[in-house]
Amino acid sequence: MLNPNLQEIELDKEEFQRYSRHIILPEVGLDGQKRLKAASVLCIGTGGLGSPLLLYLAAAGIGCIGIVDFDIVDSSNLQRQIIHGISWIGKPKIQSAKDRILQINPYCQVNLYETHLSSENALEILKSYDVVIDGTDNFPTRYLTNDACVLLNKPNIYGSIFRFEGQATVFNYQGGPNYRDLYPEPPPPGMVPSCAEGGVLGVLCGIIGTIQATEAIKIVLGAENTLSGRLLLYNAWDMKFRELTLRPNPERPLIDKLIDYEQFCGIPQAQAVEAQEKTTIPEITVKELKDLINYGTNTFVLIDVRNVNEYEIAKIPGSILVPLPDIEDGRGVEKIRILSQNKKVIAHCKTGVRSAKALGILKEKGILGSNVKGGITAWSKEVDPDIPQY
């Protein structure tokens, strides 16, 4: 409720004490704190961005917080998804987030939507909230969130992170631009590596997520100097901020309905290509690979196409590192050609996706090979549990 009847909203004695540092700010005051209590904010995702922003929204006194997520807590999340803890591993993230929010502020109402946000449910979920915060990490959900906010006329607070770099802005607010003004079309599938493939500095999530929470609070308070029309760029490694001006594109297509965003982002097409590649590239299981290694045969060469840092975390005995980017630019192809003279090539990565791509490139160059199904993750689960999973 961005324009609540403030006379109907009251704070009790404990709330005055809890929010006193806010209330003494001239820019917030008692009326501003009442606005925060009356407001409803929906966060899509409880990962790296959602974790810190949810903590600060709760601490700020947002009266109603909605959370959309369907994932479970994994140990690999804890380095950056600070709302979760060890005791919640294997359990739903939204339940973990709610528990932590209520520990910070029992005055918050927390609504949970343990579901995949889709074109079928997005409008129904978003319609009752004042502000929407995009804490997702995939393009279909980003475009879906944007379009639903445009149709419902909701401000959409955007953030993204990768390695050491982050972005934040406010979309669809007071006539400002939306996500399609910044990115009219999604990149080809696989063109932008995920954080699972490229990595991310944990504290970067906290910085960008906290900026998103700040913008949500400012919008509720009616502040004029939001990030609408401004894209904030942050490089944690260089400790530098930059800002780009964003404007609505008068030629952008009209958003008048929700569409199939998986199709729009080319996911089914990419999956079809991947499936076709799998049918043309032989696979072996990790147990079959283990047998080959145990036999001590010199008939194959095992190529690891992950990056150097992944190789340092965990490796299969006898594997030779040739990163996928080296294969893509041709240098790795020649190296593998030399290594594989009179030998069969067997390739692996983390889960088998990148190695399948590498083998497709090698096949075009006349080098045939087999892919390790499930990659080193399957090796850790089925062959050697001492190999770390990441």
Per-residue pLDDT, averaged over 15-37, amounts to: 97
Q: What is the C-alpha to C-alpha distance for residues 48 and 77, in angstroms, rounded to an integer?
A: 8
Distance CA 107, CA 65 (A): 11
Q: Which of 235, 270, 305 is the C-terminal boundary of a domain?
A: 270
Q: Is the pLDDT of residue 387 over 60?
A: yes
**Would you say residue 277 has pLDDT above 60?**
no
Cβ contacts of 203 within 8 Å, gap of 6 or more = 80, 236
Q: Are residues 211 and 248 in the same domain?
A: yes
Residue 349 is a catalytic residue: yes
Is the pLDDT assigned to residue 275 strictly greater than 80?
Answer: no
Kindly state the helix (H) or strand (E) to which residue 242 belongs, with its residue range: strand 240-245
Q: What is the pLDDT of residue 11?
A: 96
User: Of 64, 149, 205, 349, which one is the catalytic site residue?
Assistant: 349
Q: What Cα–Cα distance (Å) separates residue 9 from each residue in 26, 38, 56, 254?
A: 19, 7, 21, 39
Last residue of a domain, one of 248, 270, 292: 270
Q: Which pLDDT score is estimated for 240? A: 97
DSSP-derived pairing of the beta strands 240-245 and 230-235? antiparallel
Q: Are residues 142 and 69 in the same domain?
A: yes
Query: For residue 30, which amino acid is it?
Result: L
The CATH number given to whatever domain includes residue 331 is 3.40.250.10
Considering the domain architecture, whether residues 65 and 94 belong to the same structural domain is answered as: yes
Q: Which of 108, 149, 195, 205 is catalytic?
A: 195
- With tokens 């899509």, the residue in question is 44
What domain range includes position 311?
281-382
Please give the biggest Cα pair distance in the chain: 83
Please give the pLDDT value at position 278.
57
Same domain, 118 and 242: yes
Contact partners, residue 78, CB within 8 Å, separation at least 6: 84, 85, 86
Task: Describe the strand order of the beta sheet including 283-284 as a list of residue ranges.
Answer: 283-284, 369-372, 344-348, 300-304, 320-321
Q: What is the mean pLDDT of residues 267-287?
A: 74
Percent of the chain exceeding pLDDT 70 equals: 96
Global pTM value: 0.81
- Asked whether residue 175 falls in the same domain as residue 57, the answer is yes
How far, in Å, CA of 126 to CA of 162, rounded? 27
* Radius of gyration, alpha carbons of the chain: 24
The per-residue pLDDT for 270 is: 63
For residues 108 and 171, state if they share a domain.
yes
Contact 83, 96 (CB under 8 A): yes
Helix 353-364 vs helix 267-280: angle between axes, to the nearest 10 degrees? 60
Q: Is 43 a catalytic residue?
A: no
Domain membership of residue 378 (yes or no) is yes
Question: Taking Cα atoms as reference points, which of 49, 144, 138, 134 lies closest to residue 97?
Answer: 49
Q: Tokens for 27, please give them.
A: 């820019």
What's the average model confidence in pLDDT over 81-91?
97
Total residues belonging to the chain: 390
Query: Which phi and psi (to 5°) does residue 200 adopt?
Result: -155, 140
Structure-block tokens of residue 66: 């909605």
| Residue corresponding to tokens 């008939």 | 299
User: Which range, 114-128, 186-200, 247-261, is most confident?
Assistant: 114-128
pLDDT in tens, 228-246: 999 999 999 999 999 999 9
Q: Classify residue 13: in a domain, yes or no.
A: no
Residue 331: predicted pLDDT: 92
Domain end, chosen from 221, 246, 270, is at 270
Positive/negative CA dihedral, 24, 26, 28, 33:
positive
Residue 161 sits in a domain whose CATH number is 3.40.50.720
**Domain co-membership, 258 together with 298:** no
- Whether 132 and 154 map to the same domain: the answer is yes
**How many Cβ atoms are within 10 Å of 217's Cβ, its own excluded?**
23
State the total domains in the chain: 2
Tell me: do 216 and 116 sit in the same domain. Answer: yes
Q: Is residue 104 within 8 Å of 59, Cβ to Cβ?
A: yes
Residue 363 has pLDDT above 60, yes or no: yes
Q: Which residues lie closer than 8 Å to 99 by C-beta, 6 or more apart?
A: 88
Give the residue from 187, 181, 186, 236 showing the smallest Cα distance to 208.
Answer: 236
Tokens representing 134?
A: 């995009």
